[in-house]
C-alpha cells in the first residue's frame, strides 16, 4: 500500500532540503522536484503537489547546487564504510523484465571479425582478493581494457564492428557475410574512400580516428571545447581533424550530425536521439553489439556469470552491451549501472520510466560526462538492468588508486564501475538491496587507461 511522504517523515524531508540546497541562482527547483519524485518511487511513496509546495517553502531561501542533488558524504578511508544514505545512491529499475534474454543476435558474431584485426587478443582479467576480503565478498574480477588493439580503451571494438556492418551494406554484400579486416580496408578504399565523422568526449573519437587511419579514410571528430588537451592531441595523432564545439557533449553530438550531413561524410555515432535516421540508429546499435566481444571474453575467462556486474555509463552503450550479454547467460545475476553524480541521466530515467536529460556537470570522470541516454541503448537498459547508482569524484579517484596498487592503469572513468562496487559493498543498506553477500562474485570493467595523463598523475598524488 502506498504511503505519502508525510508518513515517511516531513521533518526528515526538511533536513534533506537544507542539505541539498545552498547559494542562490544556479539550478531551478524543478530539478529538486525530480529528485524528490525519484526518492518517492524508491520508497513506494506518492509525492504530491502539496508536499512539493511545502518543501519549496523550506527551500525558498536556498537553491540546489549541481553537486548536491544527492547528499553524498564520501568516506574518509578507501577501505572503510561510506556514510551515505543508500536511498540516494541507488535507483532501482522497476521495469526490469525478469524473462529478458537480450536482443536478437545476428548470424555473424562480432568476435569473429575482431579476431581478424591485427593485434587482437583477449584483454586480461585481474583479481582483487584484498579488496574482496575487506569488502566482504567472495571475489572481485576486473576486466582490464587499459590497452585494446593498440589503444587505451575498449572503444575500437564498437566502432570497428559498426563500420564493418556499414561497409557491408553500402557494398551490397550479404547481411551474413564476414569481412576480414584486411578485406574491409580494401573495400572501404574502393568506396571513395569515405570520410568518417563523429562526436566524442575522447575515447570513441580516438577509436574512429584510428580506424579511419587504418582503413585509409579521412576523419573529422567534434569535441567539447573544454576537452583535455591530451585527448585532443591523441585524436590528431591518427591524422584526424578535430573541431571544437563551444558547449556540452550533447551539443557536440548535434554538431557532428549536422556536419556529416552538410559535408557528405559518413556519420559514425555511438549515441543517437529519438530524431535519428534509421542509418544512424543502426550504426549506434552496431557499436553496442561490437562491445559484446568484451563481455563474451570476460564471462569465458571467469568461467561462470558473476552474481553482480557493475558497469559504468555515459550514454549507456557499454552498459546496454553488458546487460544484453549477461542476460543471455543468466536471468538472475544483477546488472548495476554506475554514473557520476550530476551526469546521472540513466538513474533519473529509471526513476521516471522514460529518458530524462541532465545539465552538463563537470566531473573527473570526463568520458562519462553525458547529458542523456542513447535512444538505442534505453530499451535494453530498461529490460535488462536492475538498478543505477551514482558515485562521487573522490570515490572514483579512490578506485583509481586501488587499481594502481594491483598494477592496473585506469583513468577515473575507467575506475567508476569498481567505485560503484566498493561503495555498494561497504554500505549495509545497499548490500541488502542488491543482495550482496560474503559469497557474491563481483565483476567490473576498467574501460580505459590513463587517457588524460595529467589527471591520472594528480589522482595518484592525491
Average pLDDT over residues 294-307: 98
Asked whether residue 388 is assigned to any structural domain, the reply reads yes
**Which residues pair with residue 245 across a beta bridge?**
224
CATH code, 325: 3.40.50.1100
40 and 141 co-located in one domain: no
Q: Please tell me what DSSP assigns to residue 140.
A: E
Average pLDDT over residues 308-318: 98
Percent of the chain with pLDDT over 90: 80
pLDDT of residue 43: 54
Residue 333 DSSP SS3? coil
Q: Show which of 258, 284, 310 is a domain's final residue.
A: 284
φ/ψ (deg, to 5) at 386: -85, -35
Other Cβ atoms less than 10 A from the Cβ of 130: the count is 13
pLDDT of residue 88: 72
130 and 254 co-located in one domain: no
> Is the model more confident about 85 or about 162?
162
225 and 356 co-located in one domain: no
236 and 271 co-located in one domain: yes
Asked whether residue 73 is assigned to any structural domain, the reply reads no
314 and 167 co-located in one domain: no
Residues 54 and 31: their CA atoms lie apart, in Å, by 16
Look up the pTM and report it.
0.82
Compute the residue count for the chain: 462
Average pLDDT over residues 214-235: 96
Question: Among 4-13, 293-302, 449-458, whose mean pLDDT is lowest?
Answer: 4-13
Q: Please tell me what DSSP assigns to residue 151.
A: B
| Locus of grid cell 541516454 | 373
pLDDT of residue 462: 87
346 and 234 co-located in one domain: no
The parent domain of residue 320 ranges over 86-152+291-461
162 and 144 co-located in one domain: no
Asked whether residue 251 is assigned to any structural domain, the reply reads yes
Average pLDDT over residues 340-346: 97
φ/ψ (deg, to 5) at 368: -110, 10
Q: Show which of 253, 284, 315 is a domain's final residue.
A: 284
91 and 205 co-located in one domain: no
Asked whether residue 79 is assigned to any structural domain, the reply reads no
Number of domains in the chain: 3
Q: Does the pLDDT of residue 62 top 90, yes or no? A: no
349 and 451 co-located in one domain: yes
124 and 171 co-located in one domain: no
Residues 80 and 426: their CA atoms lie apart, in Å, by 7
Q: Does the pLDDT of residue 75 top 70, yes or no? A: no
Asked whether residue 80 is assigned to any structural domain, the reply reads no
φ/ψ (deg, to 5) at 398: -60, -40
Other Cβ atoms less than 10 A from the Cβ of 143: the count is 25
Tens digit of each residue's pLDDT (9 = 90 or more) over 394-421 = 999 999 999 999 999 999 999 999 999 9
353 and 319 co-located in one domain: yes
Tens digit of each residue's pLDDT (9 = 90 or more) over 176-215 = 999 999 999 999 999 999 999 999 988 999 999 999 999 9
pLDDT band at 292 (very low <50, low <70, confident <90, very high): very high
438 and 314 co-located in one domain: yes
Amino acid at each position: 500500500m502506498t504511503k505519502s511522504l508525510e508518513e515517511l517523515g516531513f521533518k526528515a524531508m526538511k533536513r534533506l532540503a537544507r542539505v541539498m540546497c545552498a547559494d542562490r541562482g544556479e539550478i531551478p527547483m524543478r530539478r529538486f522536484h525530480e529528485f524528490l519524485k525519484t526518492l518517492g518511487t524508491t520508497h513506494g511513496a506518492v509525492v504530491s503537489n502539496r508536499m512539493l509546495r511545502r518543501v519549496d517553502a523550506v527551500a525558498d531561501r536556498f537553491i540546489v547546487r549541481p553537486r548536491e542533488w544527492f547528499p553524498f558524504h564520501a568516506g574518509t578511508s578507501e577501505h572503510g564504510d561510506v556514510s551515505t544514505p543508500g536511498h540516494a545512491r541507488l535507483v532501482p529499475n522497476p521495469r526490469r523484465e525478469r524473462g529478458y534474454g537480450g536482443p536478437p543476435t545476428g548470424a555473424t558474431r562480432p568476435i569473429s571479425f575482431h579476431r581478424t584485426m591485427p593485434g587482437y587478443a583477449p584483454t586480461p582479467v585481474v583479481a582483487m582478493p584484498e579488496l574482496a576480503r575487506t569488502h566482504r565478498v567472495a571475489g572481485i574480477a576486473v576486466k582490464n581494457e587499459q590497452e585494446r588493439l593498440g589503444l587505451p580503451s575498449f572503444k575500437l571494438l564498437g566502432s570497428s564492428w559498426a563500420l564493418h556492418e556499414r561497409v557491408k551494406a553500402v557494398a551490397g554484400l550479404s547481411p551474413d557475410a564476414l569481412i576480414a579486416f584486411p578485406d574491409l580496408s580494401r573495400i572501404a578504399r574502393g568506396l571513395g574512400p569515405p570520410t568518417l565523422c563523429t562526436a566524442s568526449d575522447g575515447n570513441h573519437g580516438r577509436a574512429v580516428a584510428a580506424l579511419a587511419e587504418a582503413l585509409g579514410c579521412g576523419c573529422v571528430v567534434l569535441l567539447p571545447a573544454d576537452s583535455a588537451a591530451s585527448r585532443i592531441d591523441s585524436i590528431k595523432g591518427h591524422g584526424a581533424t578535430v573541431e571544437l564545439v563551444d558547449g556540452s557533449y550533447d551539443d557536440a553530438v548535434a554538431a557532428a550530425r549536422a556536419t556529416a550531413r552538410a559535408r557528405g561524410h559518413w556519420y559514425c555515432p555511438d549515441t543517437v536521439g529519438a530524431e535519428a535516421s534509421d542509418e544512424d540508429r543502426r550504426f549506434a546499435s552496431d557499436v553496442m553489439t561490437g562491445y559484446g566481444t568484451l563481455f563474451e571474453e570476460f564471462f569465458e575467462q571467469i568461467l561462470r556469470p558473476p552474481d553482480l556486474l557493475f558497469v559504468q555509463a555515459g550514454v549507456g552503450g557499454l552498459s546496454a552491451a553488458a546487460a544484453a550479454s549477461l542476460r543471455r547467460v543468466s536471468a538472475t545475476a544483477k546488472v548495476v549501472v554506475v554514473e557520476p553524480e550530476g551526469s546521472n541521466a540513466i538513474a533519473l530515467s529509471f526513476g521516471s520510466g522514460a529518458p530524462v536529460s541532465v545539465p552538463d556537470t563537470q566531473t573527473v570522470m570526463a568520458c562519462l560526462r553525458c547529458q542523456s541516454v542513447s535512444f538505442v541503448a534505453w530499451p535494453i537498459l530498461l529490460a535488462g538492468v536492475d538498478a543505477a547508482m551514482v558515485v562521487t569524484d573522490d570515490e572514483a579517484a579512490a578506485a583509481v588508486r586501488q587499481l594502481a596498487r594491483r598494477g592496473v592503469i585506469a583513468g577515473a572513468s575507467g575506475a567508476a564501475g569498481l567505485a560503484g562496487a566498493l561503495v555498494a559493498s561497504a554500505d549495509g543498506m545497499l548490500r541488502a538491496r542488491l543482495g550482496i553477500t560474503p559469497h557474491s562474485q563481483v565483476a567490473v570493467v576498467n574501460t580505459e587507461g590513463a587517457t588524460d595523463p595529467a589527471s591520472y598523475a594528480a589522482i595518484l598524488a592525491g
